[in-house]
Structures are given as structure tokens and as C-alpha cells.
């Protein structure tokens, strides 16, 4: 059989390479066969893995692209050729290859078996890994020497849970920013992955020579979330992507500061993408100016302070002392770090340092003068336009102060950052924006339309852990960027969005989930201080939550971080197993796994010209529209539209995306704009509240469920106390208000109001009434049930009937089928004109016969075989039916013995 060479048919310019996103694993006794296909199941590739070698991995990549008929014929031929050794068997279907790994015995293959879509950017899906499987490569014929430590290495390796916070995409390079992705032509062969964020780099290099292989599927570790802002039906997608660096990665107290290569701990790049979802593709249609103006992005960075410092957690202290391990007068490690930042983001770099400046016992403030001096030293050799902009601000002290507006200061800093670095916009701004700018500058000013923007530089935020304060600052900067991004898309008329609007509340929850995820990965617990803490609107219940999270973080740092660090070192390839070498768990420290060995250190750079030659090479201002030719291997069209598959809206990710309109549809609101402030008018304002602090809509404790939980919340108004009239309130008011104190005038957020609510919890009047009825339902009747005498007085009969405790229930039952009702003073409207219940004569005869035959029935039962000892009980029961009183010989005896008062 001669397979068709599609490359020869299509030519060099339109070489057709399928985007592989569906895979099937087959096995024989000597080989594994992986069949990869595109979404349309019309192009196939095959990968062959040898199973006979025990300690080596031999992979053959067949470069031929097969059709469906050809691949079926090839599999049939393989099955026929292996009939004598067991034939060909299907092992599993999966969605991607994570990589290969070997410990002391043979190789293992890690495959993605479950996935779920979490974001959609220009028709390109981003998936979350939901489940994986590890399969041994060695076949039954391979001779493996069993090692006792193999199972322990395997157990350590699997502690890196690939089903949590790992993401991938088939047609979009998630290791690069949107700006980098839209600056190159589409197509998988043109992807230049940022190896810093490829967490399976070590696993892929074990099986593939290059990351350009069609079988390579890079995964990132971090956070991805996407929501929709609905502006009267006009959908705007907001996407948050956090990429964690694989260099110098680890747990909180075990990875601090910087290493010899300039990589810092807890290095996370956060990208905020806002795009118009009116059209799908990133590349088409090209628009009037040959590019697509519907996409914007803004990138931020967080990372540990780039100095040699550490904290020893061996003493089981909640906050171990901070120590400066090495004092370098030339700050070589910091120079390497900022050189890498310049190459990644360009100039200028804005450093926002949020660590404390004053402490009773100096701890993090020890690092402040050293960090400040390092930036000053490095800046003296840079030109003015490239200098690092350094801002130091004690955010923790400001949040505890009553005379500092934390949010206001952060918003001013955010405006300065956006004015310095800018943001990315893929096309021309709306013409109306240019007209507004020209009008503001003067009537004679020429209208100059901005045809595209690029972000040059980045804001680098840090506190001591780069968790709580850093996340709050990043949210405020992201909120400011959201305003500029929406303005650039022509959605709003001014580049700002207010707090407590649906759009900002949605972004707040996304950043809250983002911060929780980053904190869990690095610190072992959720955020301790949330955005509401710094806005000073968090409820009192947050104190217990903060305490619990602090305990969780302490437990994780003290007992589980060491195992987590070993797993990361093994997964990322920092530690490579060797037969006869020192075991991973026997290493006294992993310092030399992340730093240069003293005997093999590279020569240091110049202390004056500390940056590399390409650090300040400016990227092109915009991509060339002519270079955006549509490659046939751009599989986003088949992956998104799936023209050959019957689909429904219910299964479409974009249809089920979280939106601001989802919450508004559940409430009775008149203004459906996502930029309207949803203030709680019944909530009392806080003292000293400025213009930025009106009345707040609380969003708190949303870490469980993320945005989905936010949608389930309602804008519950806090009921203000209704002052009663002068004098004692009436009984009806007491029951209606559930016993609420009318004189309580203290604001709901004060300590006295909290104590009142805890000591005297209130319930609604309806609940109080139901509770009273419940506890009194089995009380002994105080009215003797005797046949109602026939009198000539209707009022007397009504008084006897209505005095019964169950009269209300009975009257409701009788009136259930019509409009009859009973007033408190008797029958207002009745089925009969004379006011009596109409009882059928036959029913009355049956009832009288039943009551009168009770004694006879009891006597018959006693004569029919019952003992005489049971007779008193039946007599007491008969008396209860006629009189309503249950009296037995035992109760008579108790009354006789009980002393009289």
C-alpha cells in the first residue's frame, strides 16, 4: 500500500499539517501505536513506541499524513502481522501526551484522559486537565531489574496532581501573551513556546527532540478563568490567565528570593484579556486596516524580592525570622532577574514594593533598604527612559490606618502604571474616541486615530509572600486596565468603571479565585486578606475565616511543604534519578538543584553593563497584515464550529459561560447596564466614608465555587430597625416583627449591634407563629368535649365552637374549596344563610352511632378473649372520645398521693 503524500499534492506554501486533538493507543507485544487525528477525523498521523528496550525510549514519528481509509488499512495490516504474538489491542482513547518519565526501571507514559473547556479566545479553546493515566512503556518481553525505590519515586511523582490547575490548548499558544500570539502568523508550526512556562518541558524532551513536533502539547500551571459582560446583549469576554514559572518553583518557606540564574520564587505572569465576541476568529475578517480591532490585553507580574534571603521553618514558628543569606554589593542576581524581565516585557519596569516599612520586631522590613539599594545601583547605568521605576508603599500599615484611602492610592498608582506601560490593542480605536480626544485638546486639533497599541514594559508587584497584598493591588490595577480596554473597544464613553457595578464585581470574583489558586499552590491555603479587607467592608464573620486560613497555611508550611517540594523537583527534572546515587529523600537540601554548583559556576557579567545585548530590542509596533495568510493547519475552525457533528447550545461552552446578565435576570432591576453601581441603599454608610466609599454591595467568601457562587447570591438588603411609636408596642407588632427591639439604633456593623444580634437573635413573625403552634400542638385540651347542646341562641353556639383551639384549622379546612372565610367574631360568610355548618343527616347519624357504641365495642373486645386487666384502658379511651379527658386508674392514684397545696 502506497500512502498518499499530501505535502506533495498541496505544495510547499500550503503544506497541510493536521492539528492533532484526538488520540487512540493500540498495543502489540513489541510496540505501542498512537493514532492521532484532527477534529474532522479526515487526517491521521501515527507514532510508534518500542516496548522491547527496558532502559531506553525509542520513538518513531511517521511523517506521513494518512486518510481514514489508509489508517484503517494500516491497522489491519499491523493486526495481521502480529496474530502469532497476540494481535493488536486497543488500550485507551485520550486527548494528549503529557510526556515520558523514567525513575530507576523503565519509562512511563503520561496521557490526558479527561478534559474540560475553560476559556475561548478567538475560536481557540483552552482546556483544563481533569484526569490523567500513567502507563508503563516496557512490554512483557523487556527485562527489567526490579528496584526497591521505584514505587517510592512513583508515589512522589504522582503527588503533583495533574488534575488541578494544569491547562493546555491545541491551536493557541498559552505560554505566550495575546500580544505575542497576534504578532506572528497563525498555525502550529509557527509557535515559539516560552519554555519558562512549559511545565512538562522535561517530560516532553524525554520523548521528542523538539517542541515543534505535532505531538507536543505544552501545559501550563496556574489559573484560567473566563466570564462574559453582557452590555444589552453585546457580549464582551473577560479572560484571566496566570502562568507560573517552572524555574525556582516550590513551596512558600522552601523557595524564597532569587537563585543564581536570576529566577525568583513564586514567579507568576497574569494576563487580562478583554475582547469583543461579536466575531470569532483572531485573524478574519481583517477589517478596514487589515487587522482585527476586537482584542485587548494587559499583562502584570508578581515575584519574590530578587535578593538572597530565606526563612527557616524548622522551628515550627508561624512566622520564621527572615535572614539575608548573601550580601552582594553588585546585586548580580537582581541584575540577571531584571535583564530577563526586560527581554520578556520590554522597558520600563515598574516595581511596586508593598512590604512593611516599620515593625516592632524587624522582619520583612529587613529587606526594604537592601531592595531599594539594589534598584538604585542598577538604575545608575541605565538611560532615563529605561530606568526601573521603583515605588515602595507600606500597604499593611495604610490599611490599618483611618486617615489613608488604600483603594484611592492604589487607583492612582494604577493610572500611573497604565500611562507608563500601556496595553495591547490589536487594531484601530473607535473613531469616536479620536473625536473626543481632539475635542478635549481644542476645536482646531486634528483628529488622529490610534491604529493599534502595544504594551511596552510591565508592573512588577510584590509583598513578602506575593499573595494577599499583591493580589489586592493586582485587582485594582486590573480594574483600571478594564476601563481602558472597554474604552478602546468602544463599549464605554470614559476609560473607567466604578466599584460595585456588575462588571467590576465579576472581575473582583475572578481575581479572588485567581489569588486563592495562586495562594494554594505556593502557600497551601486560600487568601487570608481579601479585597473586602482592604476596602474595609468585610463582615465580622471574616475574622474566623482568616484565622482558619492562617492555621491551614501554618499546617501546610510545617508538615506538607517538604513532600510538595520533592514532587516538584522530580516532576520538573531538577532532580534526575540515578542508580546508586543519593536518593531524593536523603538530600540534606535542594539548594544545588536550583543553583549553580560552586565548581561549575559561569563567569559573572559586567557589574556596569549588566544587561544583555537583546534586552532592549523593541518589538515591532504591529504585525504585518500581509503575513497573516490562512494556513490550512489552523484547526480552530473545525474545533470550534465542528461542522460534521450535531451539537446543541446546552453543550456549547460560549452559551453556558458565566455572565453579568445571569444574575440580573434573577432580580427585579430596571437598569440592566453592567456598569451601574448596585448600591445597597438600606445599608447604613460607614463613618468617614469618602466619595469612593458609598454603600457597598458585599462580595465575600466566594472562593468556593468562584463566579458560580457569585451568581447564586442576591443583593439582600439589611433590614434597618423600624422605630416604634412612643410607649409600649402592641402585641400584633411584636408578633409581626418577631420580637425585634424597636429601640435598637446602633449601626449594624458596630460591636454593640453584633452583641445584640448574638445575645438576642431575632426571627420573622411568621416563623415565630409557626414555632408557637408547633410546641403547643400536644398540650392537654382545657375544654371538655361534650356534644353541643341545641339552643335557640346562635351567638352561644358560635362562642362554644370558636373557643376550641383547633377551630382555626378546622374552619380553614372547611373553607378550602371556596371563598368562605371566618372572622374573629364568628362566621362572616358561610355556606348556609343561618350561620351554621351544614352537616348531612347521615353523617350525623354515623357519628352518633360511633360515639355511642364505644362502650359496647370495648365490652365486646373484653368478652372476646381480652383480659380484664385491659378493660380500664379501653374505658379510659372511650371516655376520652366523649369528654376529651384521658383518665386511668394510675392517674387517679397519682392525684390521690400528690400533696395538696
Write out pLDDT tens, residues 76-124. 999 999 988 889 999 999 999 999 999 999 999 999 999 999 999 988 9
Q: State pLDDT tens for residues 5-56.
A: 433 333 343 345 788 999 999 999 999 999 999 888 889 999 999 999 888 8
pLDDT at 684 over 70: no
Residues 255 and 565: their CA atoms lie apart, in Å, by 9
Residues 60 and 387: their CA atoms lie apart, in Å, by 50
Angle between helices 367-379 and 332-345 (to 10 degrees): 60
Identify which of 286-300, 645-659, 740-754 has the greatest average pLDDT.
645-659
- Please give the average per-residue pLDDT across 508-533, as a whole number: 84
Using alpha carbons only, give the angle 50, 52, 55 rounded to the nearest 5 degrees: 90
Lowest pLDDT segment from 132-136, 139-143, 147-151, 453-457: 139-143
Confidence class of residue 404 from pLDDT cuts 50, 70 and 90? confident
pLDDT given for residue 540 in this prediction: 47
pLDDT at 366 over 90: yes
Helix (H) or strand (E) holding 660: helix 660-664
Query: In terms of pLDDT, which residue wins out, 186 or 165?
Result: 165
Residues 64 and 61: their CA atoms lie apart, in Å, by 9
pLDDT given for residue 473 in this prediction: 95
Question: How many CA atoms are closer than 13 Å to the CA of 597, on its beta-carbon side?
Answer: 3
pLDDT at 764 over 70: yes
Residues 291 and 885: their CA atoms lie apart, in Å, by 92
Confidence class of residue 744 from pLDDT cuts 50, 70 and 90? very low
Q: State pLDDT tens for residues 837-887.
A: 566 677 777 777 666 655 554 454 444 555 555 666 667 777 776 666 666
Question: Is the bond into 285 cis (omega within 30 degrees of 0)?
Answer: yes
From residue 387, give the alpha-carbon distance in Å to each of 338, 368, 407, 664. Answer: 11, 19, 27, 47
Question: Is the bond into 479 cis (omega within 30 degrees of 0)?
Answer: no
pLDDT given for residue 736 in this prediction: 44
pLDDT given for residue 372 in this prediction: 96
pTM of the model as a whole: 0.73
pLDDT given for residue 116 in this prediction: 94
Residue 135 · residue 113 · CB < 8 Å: no
Residue 100 · residue 110 · CB < 8 Å: yes
Query: In terms of pLDDT, which residue wins out, 882 or 346?
Result: 346
Residues 672 and 651: their CA atoms lie apart, in Å, by 27
Residues 55 and 566: their CA atoms lie apart, in Å, by 23
Q: How far is CA 354 from the centre of its chain?
A: 25
Confidence class of residue 721 from pLDDT cuts 50, 70 and 90? very low
Residues 468 and 249: their CA atoms lie apart, in Å, by 19
Lowest pLDDT segment from 273-282, 466-475, 564-573: 273-282
Q: State pLDDT tens for residues 476-491.
A: 999 999 999 999 999 9
Identify which of 271-285, 325-339, 665-679, 704-718 has the greatest average pLDDT.
325-339
Of 363, 706, 663, 692, nearest in space to 507 by CA? 706
pLDDT given for residue 559 in this prediction: 67
pLDDT given for residue 99 in this prediction: 95
Amino acid at each position: 500500500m502506497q500512502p498518499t503524500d499530501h505535502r506533495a499534492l498541496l505544495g510547499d506554501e500550503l503544506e497541510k499539517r493536521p492539528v492533532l486533538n484526538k488520540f487512540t493507543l493500540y498495543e502489540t507485544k513489541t510496540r505501542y501505536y498512537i493514532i492521532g487525528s484532527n477534529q474532522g477525523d479526515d487526517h491521521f498521523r501515527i507514532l510508534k513506541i518500542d516496548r522491547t528496550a527496558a532502559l531506553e525510549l525509542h520513538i518513531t514519528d511517521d511523517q506521513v499524513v494518512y486518510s481514514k481509509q489508509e489508517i484503517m488499512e494500516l491497522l489491519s495490516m499491523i493486526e495481521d502481522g502480529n496474530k502469532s504474538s497476540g494481535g493488536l489491542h486497543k488500550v485507551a482513547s485520550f486527548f494528549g501526551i503529557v510526556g515520558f518519565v523514567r525513575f530507576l526501571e523503565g519509562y512511563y507514559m503520561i496521557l490526558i484522559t479527561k478534559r474540560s473547556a475553560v476559556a475561548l479566545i478567538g475560536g481557540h479553546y483552552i482546556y483544563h486537565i481533569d484526569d490523567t493515566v500513567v502507563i508503563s512503556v516496557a512490554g512483557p518481553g523487556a527485562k527489567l531489574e526490579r528496584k526497591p525505590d521505584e514505587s517510592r519515586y512513583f508515589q512522589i511523582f504522582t503527588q503533583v496532581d495533574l488534575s488541578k490547575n494544569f491547562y493546555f490548548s491545541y491551536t493557541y499558544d498559552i505560554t505566550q501573551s495575546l500580544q505575542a500570539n497576534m504578532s506572528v502568523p497563525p498555525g502550529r508550526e509557527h509557535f515559539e513556546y516560552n519554555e519558562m512556562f512549559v511545565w512538562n518541558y522535561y517530560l516532553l524532551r524525554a520523548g521528542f527532540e523538539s517542541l515543534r513536533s505535532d505531538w507536543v502539547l505544552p501545559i501550563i500551571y496556574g489559573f484560567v478563568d473566563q466570564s462574559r459582560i453582557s452590555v444589552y446583549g453585546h457580549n464582551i469576554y473577560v479572560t484571566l490567565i496566570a502562568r507560573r514559572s517552572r524555574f525556582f518553583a516550590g513551596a512558600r518557606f522552601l523557595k524564597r528570593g532569587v537563585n543564581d540564574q536570576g529566577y525568583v520564587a513564586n514567579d507568576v505572569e497574569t494576563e487580562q484579556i478583554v475582547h469583543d465576541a461579536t466575531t470569532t476568529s483572531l485573524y478574519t475578517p481583517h477589517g478596514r486596516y487589515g487587522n482585527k480591532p476586537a482584542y485587548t490585553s494587559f499583562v502584570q507580574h508578581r515575584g519574590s524580592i530578587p535578593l538572597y534571603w530565606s526563612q527557616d521553618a524548622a522551628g515550627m514558628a508561624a512566622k520564621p525570622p527572615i535572614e539575608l543569606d548573601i550580601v552582594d554589593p553588585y546585586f548580580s542576581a537582581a541584575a540577571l532577574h531584571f535583564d530577563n524581565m526586560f527581554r520578556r516585557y520590554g522597558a520600563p519596569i515598574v516595581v511596586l514594593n508593598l512590604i512593611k516599612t516599620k515593625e516592632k520586631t524587624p522582619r520583612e522590613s529587613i529587606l526594604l533598604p537592601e531592595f531599594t539599594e539594589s534598584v538604585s545601583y542598577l538604575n545608575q547605568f541605565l538611560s532615563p527612559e529605561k530606568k526601573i521605576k521603583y515605588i515602595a508603599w507600606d500597604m499593611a500599615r495604610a490599611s490599618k490606618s483611618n486617615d489613608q484611602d488604600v483603594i484611592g492610592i492604589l487607583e492612582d498608582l494604577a493610572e500611573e502604571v497604565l500611562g507608563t506601560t500601556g496595553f495591547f490593542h490589536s487594531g484601530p480605536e473607535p473613531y469616536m474616541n479620536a473625536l473626543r480626544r481632539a475635542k478635549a485638546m481644542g476645536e482646531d486639533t486634528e483628529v488622529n486615530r490610534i491604529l493599534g497599541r502595544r504594551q511596552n514594559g510591565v508592573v512588577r508587584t510584590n509583598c513578602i509572600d506575593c499573595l494577599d497584598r499583591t493580589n489586592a493591588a493586582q485587582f485594582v490595577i486590573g480594574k483600571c486596565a478594564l476601563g481602558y480596554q472597554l474604552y478602546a473597544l468602544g463599549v464605554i464613553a470614559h476609560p473607567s468603571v466604578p466599584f460595585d457595578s456588575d462588571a467590576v464585581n465579576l472581575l473582583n470574583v475572578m481575581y479572588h479565585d485567581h489569588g486563592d489558586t495562586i495562594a494554594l499552590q505556593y502557600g497551601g491555603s486560600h487568601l487570608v486578606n481579601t479585597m473586602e479587607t482592604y476596602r474595609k467592608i468585610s463582615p465580622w464573620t471574616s475574622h474566623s475565616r482568616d484565622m482558619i486560613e492562617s492555621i491551614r497555611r501554618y499546617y501546610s508550611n510545617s508538615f506538607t511543604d517538604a513532600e510538595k517540594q520533592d514532587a516538584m523537583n522530580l516532576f520538573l527534572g531538577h532532580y534526575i534519578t540515578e542508580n546508586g546515587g543519593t536518593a531524593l529523600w536523603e538530600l540534606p537540601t535542594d539548594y544545588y538543584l536550583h543553583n549553580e554548583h560552586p565548581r561549575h559556576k559561569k563567569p559573572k557579567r559586567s557589574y556596569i553593563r549588566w544587561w544583555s545585548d537583546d534586552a532592549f530590542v523593541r518589538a515591532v509596533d504591529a504585525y504585518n497584515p500581509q503575513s497573516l495568510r490562512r494556513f490550512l493547519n489552523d484547526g480552530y475552525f473545525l474545533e470550534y464550529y465542528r461542522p460534521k457533528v450535531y451539537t446543541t447550545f446546552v453543550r456549547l461552552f460560549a452559551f453556558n459561560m458565566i455572565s453579568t446578565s445571569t444574575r440580573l435576570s434573577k432580580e427585579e432591576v430596571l437598569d440592566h447596564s453592567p456598569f451601574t453601581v448596585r448600591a445597597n441603599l438600606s445599608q447604613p454608610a460607614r463613618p468617614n466614608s469618602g466619595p469612593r466609599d458609598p454603600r457597598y454591595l458585599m462580595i465575600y467568601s466566594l472562593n468556593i465555587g468562584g463566579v458560580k457562587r457569585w451568581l447564586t447570591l442576591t443583593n439582600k438588603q439589611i433590614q434597618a430597625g423600624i422605630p416604634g411609636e412612643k410607649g409600649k408596642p402592641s402585641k400584633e407588632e411584636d408578633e409581626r416583627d418577631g420580637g425585634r427591639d424597636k429601640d435598637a439604633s446602633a449601626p449594624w456593623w458596630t460591636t454593640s449591634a453584633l452583641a445584640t444580634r448574638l445575645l438576642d437573635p431575632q426571627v420573622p413573625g411568621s416563623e415565630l407563629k409557626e414555632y408557637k403552634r408547633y410546641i403547643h400542638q400536644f398540650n392537654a385540651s382545657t375544654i371538655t368535649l361534650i356534644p353541643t347542646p341545641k339552643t335557640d341562641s346562635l351567638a352561644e353556639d358560635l362562642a362554644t365552637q370558636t373557643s376550641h383551639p383547633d377551630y382555626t384549622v378546622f374552619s380553614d379546612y372547611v373553607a378550602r374549596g371556596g371563598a368562605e372565610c371566618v372572622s374573629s367574631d364568628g362566621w362572616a360568610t358561610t355556606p348556609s344563610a343561618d350561620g351554621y355548618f351544614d352537616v348531612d343527616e347521615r353523617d350525623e347519624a354515623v357519628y352518633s352511632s360511633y360515639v355511642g357504641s364505644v362502650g359496647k365495642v370495648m365490652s365486646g373486645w373484653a368478652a372476646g378473649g381480652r383480659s380484664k386487666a385491659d378493660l380500664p384502658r379501653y374505658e379510659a379511651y372511650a371516655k376520652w372520645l366523649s369528654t376529651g379527658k384521658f383518665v386511668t386508674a394510675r392517674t387517679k392514684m397519682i392525684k390521690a398521693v400528690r400533696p395538696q397545696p
